[in-house]
A and B are shown apart, each in its own frame.
Chain A
Amino acid sequence: MLFPSVEFIFVFLPLTLLFIWLGTKSGKVSLVNCLLFTSLIFYVLPNLEHAYIIVGSILVNYFLSSKIQSGSDTTSFRLMWLGIIFNLAIITYFKYMYFFGGIYNGLTGNDISFDKLVLPVGISFYTFQQIAYLVDSYKYRDAQYKLNEYSLFVCFFPQLIAGPIVHHKEIMPQISNLLNRKIDPHLISIGVIFFIIGLFKKILLADNFALIANPIFTAAEPESIDTLTAWIGALAYTFQLYFDFSAYSEMAIGLGLILGIKLPVNFNSPYKAANIIDFWRRWHMTLSRFLRDYLYIALGGNRKGESRRYINLMLTMLIGGLWHGAGWGFIIWGGLHGFYLLVNHAMQHYLPGVRLHRMVGVILTFLAVVFAWVYFRAEELSTANTIVLSMLGQSSALMQSFELNQLLHITFLLIGFFCIWALPNFGKWIGYTGVECNLETIKFNTDQLLKSPLMVVVVSLMVALSMAFLPEPSVFIYFNF
């Protein structure tokens, strides 16, 4: 079920809130169980054929984590690895089998048939979340939760399908506290504003940038794409992805707040980053954190010397690329970011005195990111290569005469630049820093903001335009990962 859809906004969400209100008011059902029930409905209804996977995965991981925490060191260690292998096996089967099978056939000359399976929605997110839980269960042995609480931690519908990838220590205490919590209209109000901003970004910005980018990336003859068109396509996709993911992240935070849970910030104006290290502290922050804590550090991090550090970095980014999808484009995208990070770290290490002007840094980082997104988006490597070459002025296509339609695209791109570089980040504005943030502070800041008549105008415009174009939403890009 899509957040920016009539069914979600006008049917699922109101019914969920009503159900929670009625359930908790009567005192017969706990808020945890209400949320778990609605989260399962949210996931299962549109994904019935894959429901057994998430349910099975929750039960197995919960069972294993209990055993890990009560077992001896050796047993726990083995059980942890058993759990990790179990989770990776599921994701490999559904997500990577076809891709790796093709490579295997190519290398060995065999012709084994591998089916391209439909990817269960959200599998990459809930798998990583549970792997982290298993590892922490082994390391800290302090994760004694009830099955319904654990299930809600995995299934909580605002973050189930496209993140943020939450850590149990961020969420479980909040879930446990839900039992004593009353509905807070103030918090709901802030959540609704987050949701409206996300809705606007998705419907008015991301989906319109997609209309510009899609025909260029799916052109039947990519070699006919001239330099200007290639740049328009690459920038349009850069903005599409930005607004799409930013929208989802804000809607998730908004829904979390409406339901009384603070979710971690996953997206913090990444195109304002002045270097690539900073970019990865701002883009898909919870994935970066997972990769750092459970992969990069597990590989040895920077503890085994400078060269090993770079290898670890590159490996982490390659796997990060592969996490997004089974395809060479994603691997190259990961490799490019690994390379960027490597250069960035090397410069900091070997040329510590060199400091670029912030604006130069922001533009260079942005351009590096734009080139990498081309590989992330294009369905064929050859298309990506052709677009990149065209962007570099190496197109075999003659520069086409400037079409009026391109003026519209360029205007829209300028709006995109204005939004990413000139507009404030709402979360930051009101002081929402994630799980640790002080609710009283964000309530106070929001109150100050809502006093302004301009805010009424802006929010009303966002609501009206989002509602006007709501009937034709498209799927969030990160739903595919």
Chain B
Amino acid sequence: MIRSFWIKVTLSSALLLVSMLLLPHSDYVRYQSIKTGVYAKSKWLYERASFDETPVNVAFFGTSHTLMAAKAPKLQANLEQELGKTIHISNFAIPQLGRDMHYSLMKMLLSQKKPDLVILEVRESEARDLHPGTHYLAPAVDLIQAPLFVNLRYIDNLYRLPGRNFKLSLVSLWPELFNYQGEFDPANYSGEHYASGNDMDRITQSDREKTKEWLDRARKRKGYSAPYKYNQVGSLKESVFFNANNSYFKDMIALLATHQVDVKFFYLPDYNTTYPPLRDIYSQHAELINLGYDFYARPEVWADLGHLNSKGTQVATEQLTQALVSYYNAN
């Protein structure tokens, strides 16, 4: 009797959990489900892609490095001056490196808009782990079909899915009851460019400068062996350790090719990096925008080890402007 009770309970629970995976929900609600800090930007990302009819000509994807280095309004103004036409720039970067997040955001954007160019941040190396926030934003099917081999997040993302979908479908039924927006409200929209007023913005806008001693001490504290944040590993280890992110990287290149969108890579390593990215998986696909090793070694352009301050952003924006002017002149 006990045995049959537990068999029934196990089967019914499994069935219930699987059915939760199938519950429908609103994508807009899903993009509102991260409400903490700078990640709350995800709501704007969806609104910019889906509800704002202004085109997106150039889209940046990356981490906090790009979030702080590429100031879309300034770039847009520069390009208008140089080219005499409006090129709409959007910064879709979100903190923390994890290509699954970039892939999800890119897929969402490309389902709604057709940019001319995507600029994808690259760092010293791909990360071993995927992005911790992807399980909030990615559609269930993408999480299920994620690469299995050495994907440190796979199980974690998967077991969050039933709960996430259950919650999202409930919220989609009565969004206002849960403090979500069911419909797009232009009055609550940041506009073409995202302005959060959060810490990230404040750091970039500040004139905080670091001395060489401070930055070197910080590098030492973090145990970075110069000149890289990531240690170089052999090719076998590389394909094992970095498989998940490399897979997503390749998927993004394929996705962009399918949508006939050009791509450039934007190299934004940490302070004092003196070499190109460790794994040369980038050069075969597109041009690398490199701000210059002299630039990365200048202490006065850094707010901390990985983020540019307002002076650094200014220089980066000028260089990005030149790269984009060249791109548009050539096309």
A459's nearest neighbour on chain B, judged by CB, is B9
Q: Which of A28-36, A95-103, A107-115, A401-409 contacts B (4 or more CB under 8 A)?
A: A401-409
Residues of A within 8 A of B8 (CB): 456, 460
Whether the pair A468, B162 counts as a contact (CB closer than 8 A) is yes
Whether the pair B1, A470 counts as a contact (CB closer than 8 A) is no
Residues of B within 8 A of A404 (CB): 176-177
Task: Tell me if B12 counts as interface (CB < 8 A to partner A).
Answer: yes
Chain B 11-55: CB-based contact to A (< 8 A → 1; otherwise 0): 011001100100000000000000000000000000000000000
Residues of B within 8 A of A407 (CB): 177
Task: Tell me if B179 counts as interface (CB < 8 A to partner A).
Answer: yes
Q: Find the residue from B2, B12, B162 having the highest chain A CB count within 10 A.
A: B2
- From 110 to 144 in chain B, residues with beta carbon under 8 angstroms from any chain A beta carbon are none
Task: Tell me if B166 counts as interface (CB < 8 A to partner A).
Answer: yes
Task: Tell me if B220 counts as interface (CB < 8 A to partner A).
Answer: no
Least Cβ–Cβ distance between B36 and chain A, in angstroms: 13
A405's nearest neighbour on chain B, judged by CB, is B179
Task: Tell me if A45 counts as interface (CB < 8 A to partner B).
Answer: no
**Residue in B1, B9, B159 whose CB lies within 8 Å of A471:** B159
Give the number of chain B interface residues (Cβ < 8 Å). 21
Whether the pair A450, B160 counts as a contact (CB closer than 8 A) is no
Task: Tell me if B191 counts as interface (CB < 8 A to partner A).
Answer: no
- From 407 to 465 in chain A, residues with beta carbon under 8 angstroms from any chain B beta carbon are 407-408, 447, 450-451, 455-457, 459-461, 463-465
Instruction: Known contacts A456-B8, A459-B9, A460-B9; decide if A470 and B179 are in contact (CB<8 Å).
Output: no
A450's nearest neighbour on chain B, judged by CB, is B5
Residues of A within 8 A of B162 (CB): 464, 467-468
A364 to B94, CA, bound (A): 52
Whether the pair B166, A468 counts as a contact (CB closer than 8 A) is yes
Residues of A within 8 A of B6 (CB): 189, 192
- From 370 to 412 in chain A, residues with beta carbon under 8 angstroms from any chain B beta carbon are 404-405, 407-408
Task: Tell me if A353 counts as interface (CB < 8 A to partner B).
Answer: no
Chain A 183-194: CB-based contact to B (< 8 A → 1; otherwise 0): 001100100100
Identify whether the interface residues of B are mostly helix, strand, loop, or mixed: helix
B162's nearest neighbour on chain A, judged by CB, is A468
Task: Tell me if A55 counts as interface (CB < 8 A to partner B).
Answer: no
Whether the pair A471, B178 counts as a contact (CB closer than 8 A) is no
Whether the pair A464, B16 counts as a contact (CB closer than 8 A) is yes
Whether the pair A408, B178 counts as a contact (CB closer than 8 A) is yes
Task: Tell me if B156 counts as interface (CB < 8 A to partner A).
Answer: yes
Least Cβ–Cβ distance between B221 and chain A, in angstroms: 22
**Residue in B5, B159, B166, B178 whose CB lies within 8 Å of A470:** B159
Whether the pair B163, A189 counts as a contact (CB closer than 8 A) is no
Residues of B within 8 A of A456 (CB): 5, 8-9, 12
Residues of B within 8 A of A186 (CB): 2
Instruction: Known contacts A460-B12, A468-B17, A470-B159; decide if A405 and B178 are in contact (CB<8 Å).
Output: yes
A471's nearest neighbour on chain B, judged by CB, is B160
Task: Tell me if A52 counts as interface (CB < 8 A to partner B).
Answer: no
Residues of A within 8 A of B178 (CB): 405, 408
Least Cβ–Cβ distance between B12 and chain A, in angstroms: 4
Whether the pair A467, B13 counts as a contact (CB closer than 8 A) is yes
A141 to B101, CA, bound (A): 66
A312 to B307, CA, bound (A): 62
A466's nearest neighbour on chain B, judged by CB, is B13
A407 to B174, CA, bound (A): 12
**Residue in A6, A405, A450, A468 whose CB lies within 8 Å of B1:** A450
Chain B 147-168: CB-based contact to A (< 8 A → 1; otherwise 0): 0000000001001101100100
Task: Tell me if A104 counts as interface (CB < 8 A to partner B).
Answer: no
Least Cβ–Cβ distance between B35 and chain A, in angstroms: 12
Residues of A within 8 A of B16 (CB): 460-461, 464-465
Least Cβ–Cβ distance between A112 and chain B, in angstroms: 32
Whether the pair B156, A471 counts as a contact (CB closer than 8 A) is yes
Task: Tell me if A469 counts as interface (CB < 8 A to partner B).
Answer: yes
Residues of A within 8 A of B176 (CB): 404-405
A404 to B8, CA, bound (A): 39
Least Cβ–Cβ distance between A18 and chain B, in angstroms: 18
**Residue in B12, B159, B166 whose CB lies within 8 Å of A457:** B12
B135's nearest neighbour on chain A, judged by CB, is A471
- From 186 to 232 in chain A, residues with beta carbon under 8 angstroms from any chain B beta carbon are 186, 189, 192
A449 to B178, CA, bound (A): 37
Residues of A within 8 A of B160 (CB): 471-472
Residues of A within 8 A of B12 (CB): 456-457, 460, 464
Residues of B within 8 A of A451 (CB): 1
Least Cβ–Cβ distance between B249 and chain A, in angstroms: 27
Residues of B within 8 A of A461 (CB): 16
A404 to B166, CA, bound (A): 21
A336 to B60, CA, bound (A): 59
Residues of A within 8 A of B5 (CB): 189, 450, 455-456
Chain B 173-186: CB-based contact to A (< 8 A → 1; otherwise 0): 00011110000000
Q: Which 10 A-B pairs have the closest CB atoms?
A: A464-B16, A460-B12, A468-B163, A463-B13, A468-B162, A469-B163, A464-B13, A450-B5, A460-B13, A456-B8
CB-defined A-B contacts under 8 Å, sample of 11: A6-B159, A404-B177, A405-B176, A450-B1, A456-B8, A457-B12, A460-B12, A464-B13, A467-B17, A468-B163, A468-B166
Which residues on A are within 8 Å of B, measured CB to CB? 6, 185-186, 189, 192, 404-405, 407-408, 447, 450-451, 455-457, 459-461, 463-465, 467-472
Contacts A455-B5, A470-B163, A471-B156 known; list 17 others, CB within 8 Å: A189-B2, A404-B177, A405-B176, A408-B177, A450-B2, A450-B5, A456-B8, A456-B9, A460-B9, A464-B17, A464-B20, A465-B16, A467-B13, A467-B159, A467-B162, A468-B163, A469-B163
